[in-house]
Amino acid sequence: MPAAPLPRSGAASPDARRPAADPWRVELRELGRRAGSMQELERTVPAPEGFRVELIGVPEGAPVELHLRLEAVMEGVLVSGTVEAPLVGQCARCLDDIEDTLSLPVQELFAYEGSTTEATSDEDEVRLVEGERIDLEPMVRDAVVLALPLSPTCSDDCSGLCVDCGERLDDLPADHSHDVVDPRWAGLAGKLTPPPGTPGGGNPKEN
Ligand SMILES: [Zn+2]
Ligand SMILES: [Zn+2]
């Protein structure tokens, strides 16, 4: 009797049929719980929605680079390192598009369930190791949203828009101005201008 075909490894494993694992979650099996044990984590994950404030943010699905180090400490897992993500937004002064890169240091303790840190912290103040993994998304979300400027500008000295014509002042010549006469004074201005030839009526600028 022929042997049953061996199940193919990899593609046909039960894991392959599950939806892709959440890339923001990190399994801690490799790190373990021995204090002092360390693990580097280099990972690029897609930005979820909501990494933004009103005028600027990380586009949903854009690559967020995690350059992190996980360190097992007595109370939990200390996560530290840098997060980098592309930013897209709008200048609060001139409304021009802004493209930038956010590079942000992060450091956070994920406490073990039942640790003193968990017991002595308010529920919403402490991040927890859930089972044998941690979820990095809320930590990175908080850090990113806190770091985003509420009034982003396209440059430090953006002059904004001309109040009269709405053009970007930085795109206009330095002496850009409008000889706008308030319509309420237009008639009066005509009456006050002495007719040409009147003595003393010359334009002072011509002197
Ligand atoms: Zn601007
Ligand atoms: Zn103008």
**Ligand in closest contact with the CA of 160:** 1
Amino acid making up residue 15: D
pLDDT at 4: 53
Among 148, 117, 151, 124, which Cα is nearest to 138's? 124
What are φ and ψ of residue 193, in 5° steps?
-75, 115
Ligand 2 centroid–CA 165 distance in Å is 4
Ligand 2 centroid–CA 137 distance in Å is 45
For residue 80, the tally of other CB atoms under 10 A from its CB is: 14
Ligand 1 centroid–CA 170 distance in Å is 8
Tell me the two tokens of residue 37: 């044990």
Ligand 2 centroid–CA 169 distance in Å is 7
**Ligand in closest contact with the CA of 169:** 2
Ligand 2 centroid–CA 12 distance in Å is 66
Mean of the per-residue pLDDT values for the chain?
85
Ligand 2 centroid–CA 97 distance in Å is 20
Ligand 2 centroid–CA 179 distance in Å is 10
Percent of the chain residues past pLDDT 70, beyond the cut: 77
User: Global pTM?
Assistant: 0.73
Ligand 2 centroid–CA 122 distance in Å is 55
**Ligand in closest contact with the CA of 162:** 2
Among 171, 77, 168, 76, which Cα is nearest to 119's? 76
Radius of gyration of the chain, Cα coordinates, nearest whole angstrom: 31
Could you tell me which residues are beta bridge partners of residue 99? 88
pLDDT tens sequence across 6-56: 544 444 444 444 556 899 999 999 999 999 999 999 999 999 999 999 999
Could you tell me which residues are beta bridge partners of residue 42? 67
Separation between Cα atoms, residue 130 and residue 138, nearest integer Å: 13
**Ligand in closest contact with the CA of 167:** 2
Amino acid making up residue 95: L
pLDDT tens sequence across 119-150: 888 877 889 999 899 999 999 999 999 999 99
Decide if 170 contacts 180 (C-beta within 8 A).
Answer: no
